[in-house]
Amino acid sequence: MNRKLTIYIVLLAVLIGIIIFIDASRPKPVNWTPTYNTKDKIPLGLYVLDQEAPALFKGQPIKKFGITPYEYFDALYDYKTKKYKAKGTFLAISEENNIDKESAKELLYFAERGNTVFLSMKDFPGILLDTLQVKISGNYFMKDSIRMSLGREQAKKYWFNEGIGFTCFDSIEKSGATALGYQDASDKDQPNFIRVPFGEGQFLLHTQPAAFSNFHLLKNDHYQYAESVLSYFPQGNIYWHSGQRDENISSSPFRYINSQPGLKWAFRIGLIAIVIFIFFNAKRKQRIIPEITPLKNTTVDFTKTIGNLYYQEGNHHTIIEKKIIYFLEHIRNEYMIDTYTLDEKFIEKLHLKSGKSFEDIQKTVGLIKKHRHQFQSTEADVIEINKAIEKLRL
């Protein structure tokens, strides 16, 4: 290893070490991504709710699943009795609507047959809102926090800031909905939690998923608001759509490196440096690749030699026979015509497909039939049939 290469490697190692040290010494920024994942301990995750769920839903079995609601509940539907084998409350908490159209339809069927569907998100499936005859609106206010409560006048007020949205319900009268909770950001109460009866069941729709996040469950008395909202669940099973599949967890050995910004960039810089080093060294040390002359195609020369041999030996019949075989092979490949029977039908097909003179084709076919059955031919015969065949090939 030469001296210059050693210096490059040392400098690269020092650079990577500095990046790792700087990243490790600085305070890690708070991740405010609203994942609402039951395994996330970040502020807007649901780890605390997941841990406290057995106490919140005491005596109520909790069944979490990551597949779509359609996949889950369709498998529990008995098409003979037209009833679900599942009975209870569906629970979903997310930043935005993550429910596909077929799953939304399935949830309508699920509620219609005597169950409860609870959705806490800032947007809802359009087909669900249309069916329930509920409208939502998104008002933006100058204030950076919202006062929320269950009930209006004497109810306790809770001030929320982090992760809040400004979505509320509008025009709920047609649906027969009941407003259970309100939010106030402009001195005007607006419903953010409603109950909508549907069939034998009901929908509980809530527009502030942040209320169930780790941050707010651990902030002051905000957990009381979440408890009050969840107290509207009827007794029974809880079907929690966690939206998490174990197979989505990366199995890559670089998973931890990619999760740490400092390590990730150091790893990338190292890879780039190695690629540059290999490129420049390979360019300088690559020996000249000798030019190899391709083999010459001697098929035509060989054919001419064989033809001359037949001609010199006076074997005219063999030459004619080869001519006929080659000509018929050309007809089969070029015009896709069967050459087994050379009759009037064959002549007509060849005439139509090739556009050649009917008389010329008829003459050539006659010569082929003639020389197929005679074993003595002259040079004049070779010239005659050759002219006839070449005339059709032009």
Domains of the chain: 3-27+252-285 (no CATH), 47-248 (3.40.50), 299-393 (no CATH)
Rank 209-223, 251-265, 296-310 by mean pLDDT and report only the highest: 209-223
Q: What is the Cα–Cα distance from 37 to 215, expressed in whole angstroms?
A: 13
| Mean pLDDT value of segment 303-307 | 62
Residue 141 predicted with pLDDT over 60: no
Residue 287 predicted with pLDDT over 70: no
Rank 13-22, 112-121, 248-257, 295-304 by mean pLDDT and report only the highest: 112-121
Determine how many CB atoms are found less than 10 A away from the CB of residue 53.
Answer: 19
Q: What is the pLDDT of residue 330?
A: 84
Nearest to 276 by CA among 7, 4, 8: 8
Mean pLDDT score across all residues of the chain: 84
Nearest to 118 by CA among 232, 260, 262: 232
Q: What is the pLDDT of residue 181?
A: 93
AA identity, residue 201? G
The residue written with tokens 């077929």 in the block is 102
Give the strand pairing for 201-206 and 116-120: parallel
Kindly report which listed range (172-186, 337-351, 371-385) carries the lowest average pLDDT score: 371-385
Residue 286 predicted with pLDDT over 80: no
Q: What is the Cα–Cα distance from 133 to 177, expressed in whole angstroms?
A: 9
Residue 149 CA to chain centroid, in angstroms?
A: 41
